[in-house]
Homo-oligomer: A and B are copies of this chain.
């Protein structure tokens, strides 16, 4: 029953991307013009384009937290602590609305970062949507009768393939252009490794792997710094 949100001061839309877009006009009939509205959708260009027309006080959010699990039983009190939350204001966003939404996320322990919806979707296509594509593709690749020999390597690299497929279909479709480009970049990298293997080019292979390892190491460092910057 959506009537529960009548008279609310703030509404956070936490649904699959297309549901957010579909439900927005319905919600706008129930809340006042002053109501603060944000969402937690994983793509921002389409949502911001549509919702900023519907709600005078809207700003898109994307908290970079959560897991492959879904449903109320997976709720976690400290989910947002030491996480990053991307906010995607537009030229039309009022300073007051931005300040309030920023404060909301900071209260939950997240660090707020501003990006344009366009930059958000491009960056996320690489750091989040592509890893999901790769996990789904990897699971499709491994023959079923080989699965009993799978150890932690395959399990970790494909854990996010446990994510709700409908949720990800919607994310992929609302960011398809960026995602196609990101997949092409991944294909180019796979092709490089394949080339080095075919020519048994040890030196080239070593360079590729070592550079990847160092970059991954810098990712660990980044997480540590983030935690230090947000002490309790």
- Residues of A bordering B, CB below 8 Å: 64-67, 83-84, 86, 113, 123-124, 126-128, 130-144, 146-166, 168-169, 172-173, 176, 179-180, 182-194, 197-198, 200, 202, 205-206, 208-213, 215-220, 222-223
Q: Which of B113, B137, B164, B166 contacts A186 (CB 8 A)?
A: B137
Query: Which of these, B86, B150, B163, contacts A219 with CB under 8 Å?
Result: B150
Tell me the minimal C-beta distance from A218 to chain B in angstroms: 7
The secondary structure that dominates the A interface is: helix
Whether A162 pairs with B216 at a CB distance below 8 angstroms is yes
Which of A132, A134, A169, A220 gathers the greatest number of chain B CB atoms within 10 Å?
A134
In the bound complex, do residue A149 and residue B206 qualify as a contact, i.e. CB atoms below 8 Å apart? no
Shortest distance between the CB of A213 and any CB in chain B (Å): 5
Q: Is the CB of A194 within 8 A of B222?
A: no
How far, in whole Å, are A126 and B128 apart by their CA atoms in the complex?
A: 23
A2 to B189, CA, bound (A): 41
Instruction: Give the complex CA separation of A65 and B149 in angstroms.
Output: 11
Say whether A216 contacts B130, CB under 8 Å: no
A-B contacts, 27 of them at CB < 8 A, read: A64-B151, A127-B146, A127-B149, A127-B153, A128-B154, A131-B156, A135-B216, A136-B209, A137-B190, A137-B192, A139-B213, A140-B211, A141-B188, A144-B215, A144-B218, A150-B219, A154-B219, A155-B219, A162-B213, A165-B209, A165-B213, A172-B197, A173-B200, A176-B200, A183-B190, A183-B194, A187-B190
- Of the listed residues A137, A193, A208, the one surrounded by the most CB atoms of chain B closer than 10 A to its CB is A137
Q: A86-B149, A200-B173 are in contact. Are A130 and B126 (CB under 8 A)?
A: no
Q: Does A138 lie within 8 Å of B147, measured CB to CB?
A: no
